């Protein structure tokens, strides 16, 4: 039981740190400070998780519930995730210091293997009033929604139950032709998901 | 011209470092040493790139082609990418040290928001003898191929022109229902992409 809790925390660090990298680059490309601030908030969550994991592992070893070898692996994986989170913080910090990013730098980051995009969902869009779970945008368009402005607040790493309302703003990442498809869906230019 | 070169190198660090993270976790989940070794090779590429970027930036500043502010931002972005690559190396190192990973740890990493999967392409599959560019797996299934065994050698970060042959092994990442779709395609259970 204890063991499972440690692993789920390590997984949480993995998922959150990767989300932070995507959010931090998005904040730079779209000159978007709320997302950069969220990276700071997430870093605090990760710091707490990391402390907890170390504590849990040491207790697990002491009580004989965790082998020394497993403990070592879990510590290293947690540390690697925490370092990725620190790197994301560095990237977000460029945005928060109010440095005006050179357009060529922005363009260059956007032209990554996986494109980061921002789109507003119009009232005429088929995406309105459906959950991310119903839409399956990930498998149908290749685009993963990493953040969205929904009913006057920001959601980061939205889940399957998150509903899209008219005028929501989506930040998503995925392949280039997935981006085109998502934009057409959001702007009501196609209803074929 | 110089400026463009620096940015494209920073982008290369960004893309390669993120690929390294995916490859390193894949090596752990599938107990796959060749992929872990590739992370080491990529880390060397990134170290060279990072040195070159610093050199290019300093020259750009000296010659007046790069502003001090742009130089600072580019240095920080390159550094962040290099740190992500270092973290990936840490993860790959767990695999290379021949530590037998606890099944629960493997399972837990696999159950990430984005699933990492491995599948062999059977001769009956519609994927055979087509390029990744033709198939558009990214936008059609949500799965990005991060590595593949093709004609007796491994390819890491394959591109649009990479052809899939019968019996190739694909390592890919994406959403859970995208994984199901990719496996069905690779095993010839469906021909609907």
**What radius of gyration do chain B's Cα atoms show?**
19
Where does the pLDDT of residue B190 fall: very low under 50, low under 70, confident under 90, or very high at 90 and above? very high
- The closest CB to that of A181, out of B108, B139, B175, belongs to B139
Cβ of A25 within 8 Å of Cβ of B10? The answer is no
Q: Name the nearest CA neighbour of A108 among B163, B180, B7.
A: B7
SS3 content of chain A, % helix, strand, coil (to 5): 60, 15, 25
- From B4, B113, B174, residue closest to A104, measured CB to CB: B4
Residues β-bridged to residue A145: A172
Q: How many CB atoms lie within 10 A of CB A137?
A: 26
With CB atoms and an 8 Å threshold, state whether A177 touches B113: no
Question: In this predicted structure, what is the pLDDT of residue B10?
Answer: 94
Top pLDDT among A112 and B124 is at B124
- Print the SS3 string covering A80-92: HHHHHHHHHHHHH
Q: Which residues of B touch A94 (CB under 8 A)?
A: 73, 76-77
Q: Say how many residues make up chain A.
A: 193
- Using one digit for the tens of pLDDT, what is the confidence trace for B146-179? 999 988 899 999 999 999 999 999 999 999 889 9
Enumerate the residues of chain B whose CB falls inside 8 A of the CB of residue A13.
none
Interaxial angle between packed helices A68-96 and B68-96, expressed in degrees from 0 to 180 and rounded to the nearest 10: 170
CB contact under 8 A, B105 and A174: no
DSSP letter for B125, please.
-
**What is the reported pLDDT for B8?**
92
Distance between B19 CA and the closest CA of chain A, angstroms: 10
pLDDT digits (tens, 9 = 90+) for B99-108: 788 888 888 8
Of A7, A90, A144, the CB nearest to B76: A90
CB A74 within 8 A of CB B105: yes
Q: Examine the pLDDT at B2 and tell me if it is beyond 80.
A: no
- What are the Cα distances from residue B60, in Å, to A102, B28, B67, B73, B91? 15, 41, 8, 13, 35
Q: What pLDDT is recorded for position A190?
A: 92
Distances (CA, A) of A153 to A68, A111, A134: 44, 28, 22
pLDDT means per 10 residues, chain A with 193 residues, are 73 95 94 93 96 96 94 95 98 88 86 90 97 94 94 90 96 93 96 88
Please name the member of B10, B87, B105 whose beta carbon is closest to the beta carbon of A73: B105
Q: How far apart are CA B93 and CA A72, in angstroms?
A: 12
Backbone angles phi, psi at A149, to 5 degrees: -95, 120
State the smallest CA–CA distance between residue A94 and chain B in angstroms: 7
Model confidence pTM above 0.90: yes
Contacts of A107 (CB under 8 A, 6+ apart): none
Give the pLDDT score at B1.
Answer: 43
Cβ contacts of B135 within 8 Å, gap of 6 or more: B127, B164, B193
> Is 80 exceeded by the pLDDT of residue B31?
yes
Between CA A78 and CA A71 the distance in angstroms is: 11
- Cβ distance B175 to A93 less than 8 Å, yes or no, reads no
């Amino acid at each position: 039981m204890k063991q499972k809790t440690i692993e789920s925390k390590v997984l949480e660090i993995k998922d959150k740190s990767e989300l932070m990298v995507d959010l931090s680059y998005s904040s730079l490309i779209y000159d978007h400070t709320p997302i950069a601030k969220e990276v700071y908030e997430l870093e605090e969550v990760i710091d707490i998780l990391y402390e907890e994991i170390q504590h849990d592992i040491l207790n697990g070893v002491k009580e004989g519930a965790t082998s020394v070898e497993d403990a070592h692996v879990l510590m290293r994986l947690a540390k690697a995730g925490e370092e990725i989170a620190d790197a994301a913080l560095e990237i977000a910090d460029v945005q928060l210091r109010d440095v005006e990013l050179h357009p060529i730098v922005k363009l260059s980051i956007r032209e990554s293997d996986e494109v980061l995009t921002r789109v507003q969902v119009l009232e005429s869009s088929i995406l309105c009033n459906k959950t991310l779970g119903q839409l399956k945008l990930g498998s149908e368009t290749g685009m993963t929604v990493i953040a969205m402005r929904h009913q006057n607040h920001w959601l980061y790493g939205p889940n399957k139950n998150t509903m899209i309302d008219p005028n929501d703003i989506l930040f998503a990442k995925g392949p280039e032709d997935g981006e085109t498809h998502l934009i057409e869906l959001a702007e009501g230019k196609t209803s074929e998901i």
